[in-house]
Chain A
Amino acid sequence: MNKRAVFKSWWLPILFALPQLLLIFFFFYWPATSVLTWAFSLEPAFGGAGDRLFVGWDNFRDVFADREYWQSVALSLVFAFTATALSMFIAFVLAICVDRQLKGSGIFRFFYIWPYAIAAPAVGLAFRFIFAPESGLIAIVNTWSPDLWNPAKFGSHAMILVIICFAWKWIGYNFIFMTAGLQSIPRSLIEASSMDGSGPVRRAIDLQIPLLAPTLFFLLVLNLTESFVGPDTYGIVDLTTEGGPNGATNVMVYRIVSEAFQGLNYSGAASQSLILIGLIMVFTFIQFRFVERRVHYK
């Protein structure tokens, strides 16, 4: 953790740390405290001058009393868990296959990373076309029977669409980490177990999955957090469904941003942000407390 050999200077570390400190003060800590004060106060009426009105927990009460808010929480949970599970599962299967190092698997690995480079809004736009009800790849099902697939009309279809977008984009990232994790498993272990008569499938289940557990756990935390509050979720929803139809994909991040900038409800948005952060912390805590116990690092 600590270096044995260090330098002595009092001004150099301060000078070197100062730019970063100033930046995070202006663009992180100051806005973050604004979120706090806004969540517990109200703007003076009619945009008038004067101090903000302290209202205690009132903003939170308003948020909790809103049925649409609870719908948005439920949607976020469904979105986060399904997208994470889907993305991690596909990436895992592909990583295990590539790790068998058959001839030509390098080419596959080269392409599997690509989705990482693509921006979430671009993914959203592309999949909006591919899964459009009247043109694109899937539209053909609607010629068999009208409205078999229509994300512009049915909430469940729209949700499936945004989940597919997110899962696809994150396959790249998950794949990178899983292959790196699998590569760090000593080759001798695999060989020893095959000498004992285990086949590739048995080795995957009994050796590679348990040894990959720390990586999988890390990716689980990261995927869930990202799908909950991440910029990708916002970008995808904004370009595919805009929270619709009828609020069916109005996940928490999207709701916060649109409430603040279209509804101009800063206090409501701020209290929702705080709840979201609290939720993330609880989430992370639960995962570390219960899931991580089953993870063996050594």
Chain B
Amino acid sequence: MIERTPILNMVTYFIMMFGLLLILGPFWMIFTASTQSLAQVNAVPFNLLPGTEFLHNLQAAWHRANLGPAMLNSLIMALLVMVGKIILASISAFAIVYFRSPLRHVFFWLVFMTLMLPLEVRVVPTYNIAADVFEPVRWLIQTLTGIELSLQWNLLNSYSGLVLPVIATATGTFLYRQFYMTLPDELTEAAKMDGARPLRFFIDILLPLSRTNMLALATIMFVYAWNQYLWPKLMTTEADYQTAMVAMTTLVPNINSLPEWNVSMAGALIIMLPPLIIVAALQRWFVRGLVSTEK
């Protein structure tokens, strides 16, 4: 506070309250809708006070969308993406920053280019390759040697299929590269003088130092993976591998069904909770990580 500006302070508080209403309003609507009965939720004007049917709606949503296995699938997918991304990002950024190979610029640009083409735009060919991962390998061997192989690997309806295409982007690598660049050269020199080999330096010095970054990347990747929609929707045709986000769509009321918004809002509430809890709890770290990834 530099000066006294009572009127302006009032205006600021007013705007901030309005913003709070704008942000929390929808959350409140979702919550109250999920506590009401079918008749209450469809009443006009909408009653903004919670009803008594909360548990009942949660149960209905849970059973109807088969959320138990779906949430488990989402959790497995999110954790695998999170861990996979951290490992990949830390080691590939290490290869870029700490070695002076002529190929490292090529590698850097190959990774960087992946930011240009989002999954939505190349989703059909990605689907094809997931159905037949070794297609390029067969093609390569055939053009080189003329031998036709019958190597097959189908990723559709599997955890690797859910995870691998989602990991194949560059975001985490940049976060780690940025972080390695901020470390002083003296650290490396000291470690080298003490006789540390690159692998030892990486495991004993870099990884412990990057704990904050790791936490930030973990949060970002968990939210990112949990909230994936198009890819899981396309590639899981079997209910066994359905994720929560896809399962949620079965709760959308359509023309031929009752407008059970109370149940679909209960479902939405369950599904949005895990990433929200993580973001709310780890806010400080992940904000720092997010801001330093993109800039």
Contacts and interface: CB of A to CB of B under 8 A. Distances in A.
B99 A5 contact: no
Contact of B280 (A2, A114, A281): A114
Interface string B78-120: 0000000000100110111111110010010011001011111
A27 B272 contact: no
B99 A176 contact: no
Interface string B11-27: 01101100110111011
Contacts of A122: 245, 248, 268, 271-272
Interface string B277-295: 0111001000100110011
Contacts of A285: none
Contacts of A291: none
A40 to B, nearest CB: 14
Contact of A5 (B2, B185, B287): B185
B194 to A, nearest CB: 13
Contacts of A5: 185-186, 188-189, 192
A218 B294 contact: yes
A171 B121 contact: no
A288 interface: no
Interface stretch (A52-60, A72-80, A95-103): A95-103
Contacts of A125: 248, 251-252, 264-265, 268
Given A239-B249, A273-B121, A20 B92 contact: yes
Contacts of B265: 125-126, 129
A62 interface: no
B256 interface: no
B124 A120 contact: no
B55 to A, nearest CB: 20
Contacts of B279: 113-114, 116-117
Contacts of B43: 135
A13 B46 contact: no
Contacts of B215: none
B238 interface: no
B168 A108 contact: no
A257 B122 CA distance: 9
A5 B30 CA distance: 55
A168 B133 CA distance: 38
A31 B99 contact: no
Contacts of A42: none
B41 A135 contact: yes
A120 B198 contact: no
A168 B29 CA distance: 14
Using C-beta atoms within 8 Å of the partner chain, give the interface range for chain A: 35 or more
A26 B8 contact: no
A108 B19 contact: yes
Contact of B271 (A114, A119, A194, A200): A119
A257 B230 contact: yes
Interface stretch (A63-71, A136-144, A154-162): A136-144
A111 B129 contact: no
Contacts of B223: 116-117
Given A6-B188, A200-B5, A229-B120, A27 B252 contact: no
Contacts of B136: 25-26, 30
B77 to A, nearest CB: 13
Given A114-B23, A277-B116, A136 B261 contact: yes
Interface string A269-288: 11001001100110000000
Contact of A112 (B19, B252, B268): B19
A222 B118 CA distance: 13
Given A102-B9, A105-B16, A231 B120 contact: yes
Nearest to A2: B100
A235 B99 contact: no
Interface of A: 1-10, 12-14, 16-17, 19-21, 23-32, 34-35, 38, 90, 93-94, 97-98, 100-102, 105, 108, 110-123, 125-130, 132, 134-137, 139-140, 142-143, 168, 171-172, 176-177, 180, 190-191, 194, 199-201, 215, 218, 222, 229-231, 234-235, 238-239, 253, 256-257, 260-261, 266, 269-270, 273, 276-277, 280-281
22 contacts: A1-B181, A3-B97, A3-B188, A5-B185, A6-B99, A7-B99, A30-B125, A90-B22, A93-B15, A97-B12, A111-B24, A112-B23, A113-B283, A114-B23, A117-B223, A121-B245, A121-B249, A125-B248, A127-B26, A129-B261, A172-B23, A276-B121
Q: What 9 A-B pairs come out closest when comparing CB atoms?
A: A34-B125, A119-B227, A31-B125, A5-B188, A117-B279, A27-B168, A16-B95, A13-B95, A7-B198
Interface of B: 1-3, 5, 8-9, 12-13, 15-16, 19-20, 22-24, 26-27, 29-30, 33, 41-46, 88, 91-92, 94-101, 104, 107, 110-111, 114, 116-126, 128-130, 133, 135-136, 164-165, 167-169, 173, 181, 185-186, 188-189, 192, 197-199, 201, 223, 226-230, 234, 245, 248-249, 251-252, 259, 261, 264-265, 268, 271-272, 275-276, 278-280, 283, 287, 290-291, 294-295
